[in-house]
Amino acid sequence: MNIVLFGKPGAGKGTQAPRLAATLGVPTLATGDVLRAAVQAGTALGREAKTYMDSGGLVPDAVIMGIVRETLASPIYADGVILDGVVRTVPQAEGMRDVLKGLGRTMDAVLNFDVSNEEIVRRLSSRLVCSGCQTPYMSGSTADACAKCGGKLVRRKDDEPEAIRHRLEVFEAQTAPVFEWYRAHGTKVATVEATGSVDEVTARALKALGR
């Protein structure tokens, strides 16, 4: 099963991805997590990605598709993938189609997590993430440790007000058209109301997938 989790920054893709992965039995690929790990490790990929990420802009499609191609070739992903944070541009949608075709697969569904801009700003302004495993937290302080791995909780640079504004603009201009692209290409698309409790959103997402 190959699924795209789609939605504005802060819509809850990273919160829902591991829950859906656990129920559906397929692993996740979160390009933002891969890029942040590369930035932290100071690799060439991280150095290239950092300036785009800090300002809330998109990392070039060729870089993203390199990550996707390499990751999906791993046997771990033989039964499918839950994509979190990719696909974000029409060229990425076209690239993903080609990568999956090369593996004899197609995209099964795109779930659009729908949240208002006001709620996005509220969520991202108070979010902390674990610097180790990237788990997001709705509340807490930078003095707290991650409940999952004990890592330090930090505020993401792109959760500053100016970067949040820019990310929402980038979403409208470059990412929103991807949903229509999938609809036009015959992929099952569904919009999931992504407010309410995290459990409620998971239940709606699974229902949209027919589970």
The amino acid sitting at 203 is A
101: helix, strand or coil: helix
Supply the minimum distance, in Å, between the C-beta of residue 75 and ligand AP5: 23
53 binds ligand AP5 (CB under 6 A): yes
Q: Is 167 in the site for ligand AP5 (CB under 6 A)?
A: yes
- E strands within 131-208? 136-137, 153-154, 188-193
Choosing from 2, 4, 12, 72, the residue that interacts with ligand AP5 (CB under 6 A) is 12
Q: Name residue, tokens 């692209």.
A: 181
Residue 29 pairs in a beta bridge with: 83
Torsion of CA 131, 135, 138, 141, to 10 degrees: -30
Among positions 15-34, residues that touch ligand AP5 (CB under 6 A) are 15, 31-32
Q: Is 97 a catalytic residue?
A: no
* Nearer of residues 105 and 204 to ligand AP5, judged by Cβ: 204
CB of 98 to ligand AP5, least distance (A): 15
Binding mask 69-98 for ligand AP5 (x = CB under 6 A): ----------------xx-x---x------
C-beta separation of 80 from 2 below 8 A? yes
Active site positions, annotated: 13, 88, 127, 156, 167
